[in-house]
């Protein structure tokens, strides 16, 4: 229940901010970047909908979804957002609940 509540809280806020950023890019006629953001947003939302928080997925898969999320945020925050991951190769196969890390990254 807590995972579902976190997911429900995250998506509207993230979606609203992302759509505003895309709208600004369109108004600025930066259609290439706007198109990339729409594609990443679509992929991230598909991932969110397709993965049950009660099912466990490999950490590598979760990190791919986080990369989509962070690529979108990078457009919004530009140079104020940087990320460095140091993950051992064997850790990528560890099973975790989907979107477990996303609330930590968002906050």
pLDDT digits (tens, 9 = 90+) for 2-39: 556 555 555 677 888 899 999 999 999 999 999 999 99
pLDDT 10s digits, 35-69 = 999 999 999 888 887 877 778 999 999 999 999 99
Whether 104 shows a pLDDT value over 60: the answer reads yes
Residues 56-94: b if buried by 16+ CB within 10 A, e if exposed: ebebebbeebbebbbbbbbbeeeeeeeeeeeeeeeeeee
Q: What is the pLDDT of residue 63?
A: 93
Q: Return the pLDDT at 79.
A: 83
pTM of the model: 0.77
């Amino acid at each position: 229940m807590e995972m579902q509540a976190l997911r429900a809280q995250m998506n509207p806020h993230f979606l609203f901010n992302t759509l505003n950023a895309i709208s600004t890019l369109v108004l600025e006629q930066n259609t290439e970047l706007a198109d990339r953001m729409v594609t990443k947003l679509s992929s991230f939302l598909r991932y969110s909908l397709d993965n049950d928080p009660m099912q466990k997925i490999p950490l590598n898969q979760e990190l791919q979804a986080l990369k989509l999320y962070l690529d979108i945020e990078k457009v919004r925050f530009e140079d104020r957002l940087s990320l460095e991951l140091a993950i051992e190769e064997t850790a990528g196969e560890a099973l975790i609940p989907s979107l477990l890390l996303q609330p930590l990254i968002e906050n």
